[in-house]
Amino acid sequence: MKYYQECKKRKRKKRINGWIKANIYEIREEYRNCCGEKIKCYLYNQIGIKVLVKTIYRVLGEKYRLRKSFKPPKIYGEVPKAKKEREVIQADTVDFGEVYAYTYVDTYTRQALVDLELGLEAEDGYASMTVVKERMKRIKLLQVDGGSEFKGIFNKRVSEIADGLRVSRPYKKNEQSYIESFNRSLRKECLGWRKYKRRELPMMKVLVKEYMKYYNNERVHLGLGLRIPNEVATCRI
């Protein structure tokens, strides 16, 4: 008797008949796996039925494997600050149409390095990493964003150039402030905002090579007390 009374107190789930379920499945497939909120809207507009979003997801879960709505937050750690050269290098990519610039900046000396590649895949990221290995030697910590070019083989082989790898938090551009600043300078003072074709790669390499000579050997930085990067660094690039 007590169990029966407890059961009556519980909130019962509203039953959904097969016709409504069929409409939910049909709408989801017709509108390219749309979310529950959109399915709710289409159900009301098309057949005049109101169904809770929670109920819609429960119905969808009977047929489809749904992605979990909650993901535990990643632990990123504090933003690293360099106290000497090669301690922290920030890396990023700049889209120039059919050519991509892989950019690297030493946050202590402000020395910069640019490598031009024709793709934005992990293999291209690894190809740029070999250039860094030749020019910058050993790095204590390399910081990148979450782009696909910094995953796969790049992630597996990063130990070849760096002791550690840190992925900056998404939508936190201040964590990549040095490289973001350099990327703006690269566009403004060298390659501009236009889109380039693959056939223009040799010309782009010449422009970038000349600009990097100027940037590392002549261009003063306010953050360095109006000194140039290769004056601060003991290892020139």
Q: Which residue has the tokens 């090579």?
A: 209
Question: What is the reported pTM?
Answer: 0.68
Domain membership of residue 139 (yes or no) is yes
Q: Are residues 95 and 205 in the same domain?
A: yes
Query: pLDDT tens-digit profile of 107-129?
Result: 999 999 999 999 999 999 999 99
Rounded to the nearest integer, the mean pLDDT of the chain is 88
**HEC states along 48-112?**
CCCCCHHHHHHHHHHHCCCCCCCCCCCCCCCCCCCCCCCCEEEEEEEECECCEEEEEEECCCCCE
Q: Are residues 105 and 42 in the same domain?
A: no
Give per-residue pLDDT as tens, 19-68. 899 999 998 888 878 888 888 888 888 888 899 988 998 998 888 888 76
Rounded Cα distance between 133 and 117, Å, is 16
Q: Is residue 96 part of a domain?
A: yes
Beta strand 162-167 pairing with 100-106? unpaired
Q: Domain containing 40: what range?
A: 16-63
User: What share of the chain has pLDDT > 90, as a percent?
Assistant: 54
Residue 82 belongs to a domain: no
Tell me the C-alpha to C-alpha distance, in Å, between residue 186 and each of 14, 82, 231. 60, 23, 21
Whether residue 78 has pLDDT greater than 80 = no
Q: What is the CATH number of the domain that holds 198?
A: 3.30.420.10
Q: Model confidence over 80-102: pLDDT tens digits?
A: 888 999 999 999 999 999 999 99
